[in-house]
Amino acid sequence: MQTHNLGYPRIGSKRELKKACESYWSGKINLHELQTVGESIRLQNWKTQQEEGIDLIPSNDFSFYDQVLDMSLMLGAIPDRFHEVILQKGNNEMDLYFAMARGYQQNGLDITAMEMTKWFDTNYHYIVPEFRKDQQFKLFSTKVILEYKEAKQAGFSTKPVLIGPVSYLLLGKEKEEGFDRIDLIKNILPVYLELLKKLDAAHVEWIQFDEPFLAMDLGEKEKRALQFAYAEIKKAFPSLKIILANYFDCFGENLETALSLPVHTLHLDLVRCSSQLDDILESGKLGGQKHLSLGLVDGRNIWKNDYQKSNETIQKAVSAIGKDRLFIAPSCSLIHSPIDLDLETDEKSLSSEIKNWLSFAKQKLREVADLKELTNEKLKKNQEAIQSRNSSPLIHKPAVKKRVQTISDSHDHRLSPFSVRQVKQKEALKLPLFPTTTIGSFPQTAEVRSWRSKFKKGSLSQKAYEDFLKEETKKAISWQENIGLDVLVHGEFERNDMVEYFGEQLEGFVFTKTGWVQSYGSRCVKPPIIYGDVSRQKSMTVDWTAFGQSLTSKFVKGMLTGPVTILQWSFVRNDQPRSETCLQIALAIRDEVTDLEKAGIRIIQIDEPAIREGLPLRKSEWQQYLNWAVRAFRISSSGVKNETQIHTHMCYSEFNDIIQHIADMDADVITIECSRSQMELLDAFREFNYPNEIGPGVYDIHSPRVPSKQEMVDLLEKAMKLIPETQLWVNPDCGLKTRGWDETKKALTEMVSAAQEMREVITSPIA
């Protein structure tokens, strides 16, 4: 048996990549300094994997922003609007790359960024490729070749990792009508073959093609495209050893297609789908040559591997096909895991008892190596840790379990239907047409982060810290009033992260100091760990929200994170159904919602940006998930009066196929990301005739560019063609935490002006 890894975190153990990219964007460091940081991270990653016992180490799993964007640049799939960037004096390939991800607004150019959406059912976001009917591809970047040679020169023989041609096309979007992007397979394959030719010339022996769409529902056309592509690759490079990686679910209905492909090794995610090894062995179609990669170590969660269970699976495979045809691996790339548990040295933050149950990326490498050669001593130590967790009194709280069991139908319905609530809310709130608001957070400046850091380190008193936060909140409220926003927010200056902040105040959660995971680009999150039953001991947001409301006669929204998003964006216990944990969280949020209402807060936003992210990859399994996910949201939001307006927020998701379930959530107002797609996402709401109110985002907060008033007016006019003006709100795409104050003030001022212009158009005598 051999070991291999599908990919390793690229942010650096101290988030070196984040800091370097942001310094490059701000002009503090040059291209050479940025590239030096990248080289250092890659070298350390290869060294770590070798030292931890990985036989086949990946290369080209590093990215300065996103691996899908890397492929777009390599394949020359660069939208026409970006061609001017590379012609600008002083710009380079990296500036083009970042412009595609973030937009470009300088030197007389104003270019919108490419779309961004979720990577399957994870909280990682990728940059969506754009395709046209006559799309041509050409080899533009040779990053994969350069990094393979770089590794080789450093003494590491690696397997380059590429997104497979079929999955790459399916990850993209048609930007004009009249064609199916999968039909571009014949256009794109020659560039893949050109890349492989260069890799072959560099003496590459192994290559990993990621085809995660094999875990999705594929039609016959997509299956034929897979067979065509890999037959052509095999014909051109008969001796190349290809590992075809599928992850996040079974092959399912695609199993026969996968088994027919002329590849050396099939990778199986046996964490998400433990049954597929039996399916393959029982099919009798594996043949006598094809190898299997057993993805036994969970790349998506942080719990220790159960060596006994994994070893049983390994022995079953050994008995069927022998050791020589097996690889041991993580279930998927480890970019979804924190980097190194050894860095967690604060006993107050993470107790030694709970730490003993955990495994981060570096430790998962060791688990893979242990499973290759499992000794009695390793097995005994592992089973002691597994048993310690199973029997720990920290995990189970009878009162919490009892409360979940007593949830009734009345808990998940508002007092009256929306048509009744809307009338009462309009009377109570008296908001204008096109009411303006933001999604919640305002910029977390270096000063805000510095004060929080000092407070957490104990070098700043609680009173001094709270006085500072109050001043920031006062300034934010005053500024919002001055520019004319209709519904205000307190700014969330006291919060570190929209999930972490709540987890810190709930029972059943624990936190790390260094457990960062990449969400998109330079944005990293530190997911909480849900280790036990969840409950709320006291109010979490009431004091700060009420303080904000005391400063103004306008309405200030209560800002909460919803139960599904808290679940999805945490590392979740795996000893009970996720639905059970979600209901526990929903009850905690319900308590907070009712406390906010008692404190006089009349508008409460419960963000659920992750609700679509949680969908199983196969549609046949959607209904069960949506039933409990929608129910959890309704339980959290339904304990209030008709006059209290409930908002929710979703971003970077396609809604067409779950629009009925979004309606079933029964939020009074939903705000959604729409600006990057130029309001395309609203089509789903029009065709469905969505009954409640909608705030389609008119300002892309993931790009540093500032949109003009006219740009936002144009977007709102598009929205009015799809949604009645009486249902429309005006807001950014998402929270403003990661933006700077200068661009935020300019953009929101333009947004308020756009809303005012729309009101004049609607109410003018000519109209």
Residues of the binding site for Zn(2+): 649, 651, 664, 673, 734
**Would you say 330 and 364 are in contact if contact means Cβ atoms under 8 Å apart?**
yes
Hey, is 105 helix, strand or coil? strand
Distance separating alpha carbons of residues 222 and 219, to the nearest angstrom: 5
Kindly report the length of the chain.
767
Kindly give, in sequence order, each residue whose CB lies less than 8 Å from that of residue 453, ignoring residues fewer than 6 positions away.
none
Q: Which of 614, 703, 505 is CA-nearest to residue 120?
A: 614
Q: Which residues sit in the known binding site for 5-methyltetrahydropteroyltri-L-glutamate?
A: 15-18, 118, 123, 523-524, 569, 613
Strands (E), 684-728: 693-696
Kindly give, in sequence order, each residue whose CB lies less than 8 Å from that of residue 385, ignoring residues fewer than 6 positions away.
304, 356, 357
Distance separating alpha carbons of residues 156 and 7, to the nearest angstrom: 15
CA 692, 698, 703, 709: dihedral to nearest 10 degrees? -160
Distance separating alpha carbons of residues 702 and 419, to the nearest angstrom: 35
Kindly give, in sequence order, each residue whose CB lies less than 8 Å from that of residue 699, ignoring residues fewer than 6 positions away.
675, 707, 712, 731, 732, 733, 747, 748, 751
Distance separating alpha carbons of residues 275 and 272, to the nearest angstrom: 9
**Would you say 536 and 588 are in contact if contact means Cβ atoms under 8 Å apart?**
yes
Q: Which residues sit in the known binding site?
A: 15-18, 118, 123, 439-441, 492, 523-524, 569, 607, 613, 649, 651, 664, 673, 734
- DSSP one-letter string for 274-343: TTHHHHHHHHT-STTT-EEEEEEE-SS--BPP-HHHHHHHHHHHHHHH-GGGEEEEESS-GGGS-S-GGG
Indicate the residue type of 639: G
Classify residue 80 by its DSSP letter: G
Q: How many other C-beta atoms are found inside a 10 Å radius of the C-beta of residue 282?
A: 10
Hey, is 697 helix, strand or coil? strand
Alpha carbon 577 to chain centroid, angstroms: 21
Q: Which residues sit in the known binding site for L-homocysteine?
A: 439-441, 492, 607
**Active-site entry in 264, 267, 336, 702:** 702
Distance separating alpha carbons of residues 670 and 693, to the nearest angstrom: 6
Kindly give, in sequence order, each residue whose CB lies less than 8 Å from that of residue 311, ignoring residues fewer than 6 positions away.
371, 374, 379
Q: Which residue has the tokens 């609007």?
A: 81
Distance separating alpha carbons of residues 388 and 433, to the nearest angstrom: 59
The yes-or-no answer on residue 203 being catalytic is no
Q: How many other C-beta atoms are found inside a 10 Å radius of the C-beta of residue 225?
A: 22
Q: Which residue has the tokens 């992210």?
A: 613
Q: Tell me which residues are annotated as active site.
A: 702
